[in-house]
C-alpha cells in the first residue's frame, strides 16, 4: 500500500477536482486507522463565510442611526466531515454492492448508516482507484470505547442498539440474496447469493447451473439449494471434506421440528461486531448509537440470522473487539454478576423485543445461525469455520442423541466416490 505521505497529495487533488470552487486551504486531509478491506482517510471541508446580505446592510444603517448595535455578519459554516474509503484490493469487485446497500438503507430503512456523497467505480480519477466519499459518522467504534463507558452511558447505548435491531426486522423481502445494484433507487430487486460469497481470492464456480436471480422460497429450500451450490463448488476446487452431508440431517430435523416457519428474508449484517458499531458519547450519562458501518457483505437471510445477540454489551470478555476464548454465544443469555451489566442487558432486551430474543437465545436457532452462515459464505480452512462445524455437530448430537449425525471427518463409501450433488445429503 502506498505510504500516506505520498498518497495524501493525490487525495487533495481529487478533492480539489470535486470541490473546485474552494481554495486548497479549505481542504484538510488527515490519516485515519484503516479498515480491514479498505483504506480510509478523513476529509474536512471548511466553507468560507458568505458576504453580508443586502438586507443586513440596510438594517445596520438603520440601527446605527439610533445608536443601536449592528447585526453581525454570518459566521463561517460548520466544517463538513467526510471519509474517503478506497478498497485495498485491486479490482475489488463488490464496491458497488456496498454502495447499493447504503443507498437502500438511506432510502428505505430507519437504520443509521453512512451516507454516500460521491463515488467512482473506475480508476479514472486523481487517486487512480475506485472510491466512495461518505459523510463521516460521529463517534468511535465500540471496540475501542465501550469498555470505558460508565453504566449510564452503556445503558443508553444498549437501549438504542436494541431499538435499531428491532427496527431492522422491518427490512425484509420475499427472496434470499443480495441487492441488485442496478435497482438501488427503486423497489429493491434481489439477486441470488454469489458462490463463493464475496471473495476476490476464490474463483467462481465455472459453468454454474444455478440461477442468478432469486425467487421466493421456503427456508428449507433455500438451505437445500445453498448446500448443493457449496458442495458443487467444493468439488470444483478439489475439496474432499464434506460438511454438507453431516449438516443436512440436522437441517431436516430442524425443519421437522417447525423451526423454519418464517419464510421472509431479513436484512442481515454479516459482520455485526463492535468494530463496525459507532458510539458517540454525548454527555457524562449518555452515549448514542451514531451508526453502523461496513455493509458490503449484507444479505437478506432467514430471520434468525439477523438476531445474533450483541452479548459483548454485558459480557466484557472481548479484547479490542475480538471474542476471548472463554466467551461464547451460548452464554449470551446468562445473567451477569455485575449489577450494572444486568441493567445493560435488560435495557437492550426491552428495546429489542420478545421476537428478537426468541431467535437470539434459543439453542436450536443458535446452531441454525452457524449452519446458515456457512451455507451462505462457504467454509474456509484459514478461518474457524470447520471448527465451528465440528462444535455444532457435537452440540446437536449431545442435545438430540436420537437424531445423531456423523462427525465432520467421518467418511463413508459414498463420499469416497465423488459426491453427486444431485443426490440427497444422507
Tens digits of residue pLDDT in 231-275: 999 998 888 899 999 999 999 999 999 999 999 999 999 999 999
Q: Residue 39, exposed/middle/buried by CB under 10 A (0-12, 13-18, 19+)?
A: buried
Measured CA to CA, the distance from residue 372 to residue 209 in angstroms comes to 21
Can you give the residue range of the structural domain that contains 46? Answer: 4-135
Are 224 and 117 contained in the same domain?
no
Is 90 exceeded by the pLDDT of residue 321? no
If you ran DSSP here, which 8-state letter would residue 384 be given? T
Q: Which of 135, 157, 173 is the last residue of a domain?
A: 135
* Cβ pair 105, 111 in contact under 8 A: yes
Name the band, by pLDDT with cuts 50, 70 and 90, for residue 73: low
Which residues does 352 contact at the CB level (< 8 Å), separation at least 6? 162, 163, 165, 166, 360
Are 167 and 118 contained in the same domain?
no
Measured CA to CA, the distance from residue 101 to residue 270 in angstroms comes to 13
Measured CA to CA, the distance from residue 122 to residue 132 in angstroms comes to 11
Q: What is the CATH number of the domain that holds 39?
A: 3.30.200.20
Q: Which of 135, 168, 199 is the last residue of a domain?
A: 135
- Tell me, what's the pLDDT at 326? 43
Are 115 and 207 contained in the same domain?
no
* Mean model confidence pLDDT for the chain: 87
Are 117 and 246 contained in the same domain?
no
Whether the CA torsion 316, 319, 325, 329 is positive or negative: it is: positive
Are 288 and 413 contained in the same domain?
yes
SS3 105: helix
Q: Which three cell numbers stand for residue 225?
A: 439449494
* Cβ pair 386, 408 in contact under 8 A: yes
Structural domain total, the chain? 2
Lowest mean pLDDT of 87-101, 142-156, 220-234, name the range.
87-101
Tens digits of residue pLDDT in 166-221: 999 999 999 999 988 876 666 678 888 888 776 655 656 656 555 566 899 999 99
Q: How many CB atoms lie within 10 A of CB 312?
A: 21
* Cβ pair 141, 321 in contact under 8 A: yes
Q: What is the mean pLDDT of residues 144-170?
A: 97
The residue behind cell 441454525 is 368
Are 229 and 98 contained in the same domain?
no
Measured CA to CA, the distance from residue 167 to residue 247 in angstroms comes to 32
Tens digits of residue pLDDT in 86-135: 988 776 767 888 888 998 898 888 899 999 999 999 999 999 999 999 99
Are 24 and 87 contained in the same domain?
yes
Tens digits of residue pLDDT in 163-177: 999 999 999 999 999
Name the band, by pLDDT with cuts 50, 70 and 90, for residue 423: very low
SS3 186: coil
CA 238 → CA 36, 43, 108, 242, distances in Å? 29, 46, 42, 11
Are 74 and 204 contained in the same domain?
no
Is 60 exceeded by the pLDDT of residue 347? yes
Name the band, by pLDDT with cuts 50, 70 and 90, for residue 287: very high
Q: Which three cell numbers stand for residue 19?
A: 470541490
Q: Which of 115, 135, 155 is the last residue of a domain?
A: 135
SS3 120: strand
Measured CA to CA, the distance from residue 270 to residue 423 in angstroms comes to 30
Residue by residue, DSSP assigns 262-315 as ---EEEE-TT-SGGGEEEEEEETTEEEEEEE---TT-EEE-HHHHT---GGGT-
Are 411 and 303 contained in the same domain?
yes
- Tell me, what's the pLDDT at 249? 98
Q: How many CB atoms lie within 10 A of CB 198?
A: 19
Measured CA to CA, the distance from residue 199 to residue 194 in angstroms comes to 9
Share of the chain above pLDDT 70, in %: 82
Measured CA to CA, the distance from residue 30 to residue 60 in angstroms comes to 41
The C-alpha torsion from 186 through 188 and 194 to 198, rounded to 10°, is: 70
- Most confident residue range from 93-102, 194-203, 321-330, 381-390: 381-390
* 345 vs 203: which has the higher pLDDT: 345
Q: Which three cell numbers stand for residue 10?
A: 493525490
Are 314 and 298 contained in the same domain?
yes
Amino acid at each position: 500500500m502506498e505510504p500516506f505521505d505520498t498518497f495524501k497529495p493525490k487525495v487533495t487533488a481529487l478533492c480539489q477536482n470535486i470541490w473546485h470552487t474552494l481554495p486548497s486551504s479549505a481542504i484538510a486531509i488527515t490519516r485515519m486507522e484503516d479498515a480491514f478491506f479498505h483504506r480510509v482517510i478523513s476529509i474536512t471541508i471548511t466553507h468560507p463565510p458568505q458576504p453580508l446580505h443586502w438586507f443586513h446592510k440596510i438594517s445596520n444603517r438603520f440601527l446605527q442611526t439610533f445608536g443601536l448595535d449592528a447585526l453581525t455578519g454570518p459566521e463561517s459554516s460548520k466544517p463538513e466531515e467526510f471519509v474517503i474509503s478506497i478498497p485495498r484490493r485491486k479490482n475489488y469487485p463488490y464496491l458497488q454492492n456496498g454502495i447499493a446497500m447504503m443507498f437502500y438503507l438511506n432510502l428505505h430503512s430507519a437504520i443509521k448508516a453512512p451516507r454516500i456523497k460521491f463515488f467512482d467505480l473506475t480508476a479514472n480519477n486523481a487517486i487512480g482507484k475506485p472510491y466512495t466519499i461518505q459523510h463521516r459518522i460521529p463517534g468511535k467504534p465500540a471496540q475501542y470505547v465501550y469498555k470505558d463507558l460508565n453504566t449510564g452511558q452503556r445503558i443508553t447505548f444498549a437501549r438504542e442498539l436494541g431499538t435499531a435491531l428491532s427496527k431492522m426486522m422491518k427490512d425484509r423481502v420475499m427472496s434470499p440474496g443480495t441487492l441488485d445494484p442496478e435497482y438501488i433507487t427503486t423497489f429493491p430487486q434481489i439477486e441470488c447469493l454469489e458462490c463463493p460469497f464475496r471473495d476476490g481470492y476464490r474463483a467462481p464456480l465455472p459453468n454454474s447451473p444455478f440461477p442468478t436471480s432469486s425467487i421466493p422460497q421456503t427456508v428449507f429450500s433455500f438451505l437445500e439449494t445453498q448446500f448443493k451450490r457449496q458442495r458443487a463448488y467444493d468439488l470444483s476446487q478439489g475439496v474432499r471434506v464434506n460438511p454438507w452431508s453431516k449438516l443436512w440431517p440436522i437441517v431436516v430435523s430442524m425443519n421437522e421440528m417447525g423451526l423454519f416457519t418464517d419464510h421472509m428474508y431479513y436484512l442481515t449484517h454479516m459482520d455485526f461486531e463492535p468494530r463496525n458499531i459507532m458510539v458517540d458519547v454525548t454527555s457524562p450519562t449518555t452515549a448514542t448509537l451514531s451508526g453502523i458501518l461496513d455493509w458490503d457483505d449484507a444479505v437478506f437471510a432467514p430471520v434468525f440470522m439477523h438476531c445474533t445477540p450483541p452479548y459483548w454489551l454485558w459480557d466484557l470478555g472481548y479484547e479490542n473487539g475480538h471474542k476471548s476464548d472463554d466467551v461464547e454465544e451460548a452464554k449470551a443469555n446468562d445473567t451477569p454478576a455485575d449489577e450494572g451489566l444486568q441493567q445493560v442487558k435488560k435495557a437492550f432486551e426491552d428495546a429489542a423485543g420478545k421476537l428478537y430474543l426468541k431467535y437470539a437465545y434459543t439453542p436450536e436457532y443458535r446452531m441454525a445461525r452457524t449452519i446458515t452462515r456457512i451455507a451462505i459464505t462457504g467454509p474456509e480452512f484459514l478461518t474457524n469455520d470447520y471448527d465451528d462445524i465440528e462444535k455444532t455437530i457435537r452440540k446437536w448430537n449431545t442435545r438430540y442423541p436420537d437424531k445423531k449425525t456423523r462427525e465432520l471427518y467421518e467418511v463413508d463409501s459414498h463420499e469416497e466416490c465423488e459426491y453427486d450433488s444431485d443426490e440427497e445429503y444422507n
